[in-house]
Amino acid sequence: MEENKTADILPKDNTCINCGSIAVLKGYPNALCESCRENFIKFPIPLWIKLFAAGIGLIFLFSLYKIPKNIGLGVHLEKGKTAFAEKKYLTAQKELARVVKAVPKNEEAQGFLLMAAFYNEDFETMRKSFENLKGKRVDDEDLVNAVSSILDKSSNYFGNDSLSALLSRYDNDFTKVPDNVVRSFIDSNPDDVYTMVGYAARLSDKNEYAACDSLLQKVLKIVPDYTPALDMMTSIKRQENQLDESIDYCNRILSINKESVYALASKSRTLLKQKKDNEALSVAMNAFQLNEHNSYTIATLVLVYHFTNKTGEKAALLKDLSLLKDTASVLTLQYVKDVMSGKEPFRN
């Protein structure tokens, strides 16, 4: 007898739930005959269900792509905030810059970036973050207060209206303002630390170190953490051969910003002058690793290599320094050359 496909059927009292046939296939949880079961298997899935399923799939795939990116940005934000809390402002700025590049509307990252840039004296980045925050509502009250405090501090880093009025009489060129006019202006504006430091720099250029030192001391009584004055004091004290005091001022800056490349490089120069060459090399390398494009840090490492007889390393860095064509870099290069030639005395 030919094999019958419906031979395995349930008892007659168990009929197909779709058509009522008694020829129900055995071995399935739902009672269906062979014909109905095949029809249901071949039943077309509605288009809207297919589209809905496809949409869910796309959302899932997008999430797989997007979530790691968002997690990565969150990691950079937390690293930036941690570095900021540790006063490592260069590291903080690098981490936070990655976040705001990807998500410019992230107010938290913009706020911390603004503050880190201030401590790094990167006022262009600070300005951009301020523009991105201006007019925005920030719910974090502590962050708002911290940013407001930094903005208040930053007013000392720019000339005020009174100075602008003075400069307008001299082609907006501070170097053209006579000494007696600057001194008179300072007497009339005794809290204008910006102008005082500008004049102190002029005194330093004329090797009037005692007068420069005295003026900077006045500035620091008004604003004890005024970085431009502290920066200059590290150099003035070195020029006056007050080397321990120079180190002290470097350390004051580093207590404000642990990654101040200027303070590190200046400290290295003072250590070099103290003939503490190994320590000078370590500090100079630290500054260079933080910012290998800064002419002052490059020049400092060149000086260390010069006095430690590292000829090959010195030549390579001198080449890099000579490629920088801005005014500060050109002057820095000339100073290094003068020290190496003996024209500029550095240490006995």
Listed range (21-30, 95-104, 160-169, 328-337) with the worst mean pLDDT: 21-30
Q: Are 189 and 195 in contact (CB under 8 A)?
A: yes
Structure tokens at 252: 């004051």
Rg from Cα positions in the chain: 36
pTM of the model: 0.79
The CATH code of the domain at 174-254 is 1.25.40.10
Residues near 216 by beta carbon (within 8 Å), at least 6 away in sequence: 196, 197, 200, 229, 232, 233, 236
Give which of 222, 262, 268 is closest to 247, Cα–Cα: 268
pLDDT tens profile 170-218: 999 999 999 999 999 999 999 999 999 999 999 999 999 999 999 999 9
- Tell whether the model's pLDDT for residue 282 goes beyond 60: yes
Looking at every residue in the chain, the average pLDDT score rounds to 86
**Angle between the N-to-C axes of helices 193-205 and 227-239, in degrees from 0 to 180, rounded to the nearest 10:** 20
CATH 1.25.40.10 residue ranges in the chain?
53-157, 174-254
Q: Are 238 and 246 in contact (CB under 8 A)?
A: yes
The CATH code of the domain at 259-348 is 1.25.40
Per-residue pLDDT, 41: 53
The DSSP call for residue 135 is: T
d(CA 22, CA 13): 7
CATH of 53-157, one of 1.10.390.10, 3.40.50.300, 3.40.190.10, 1.25.40.10: 1.25.40.10
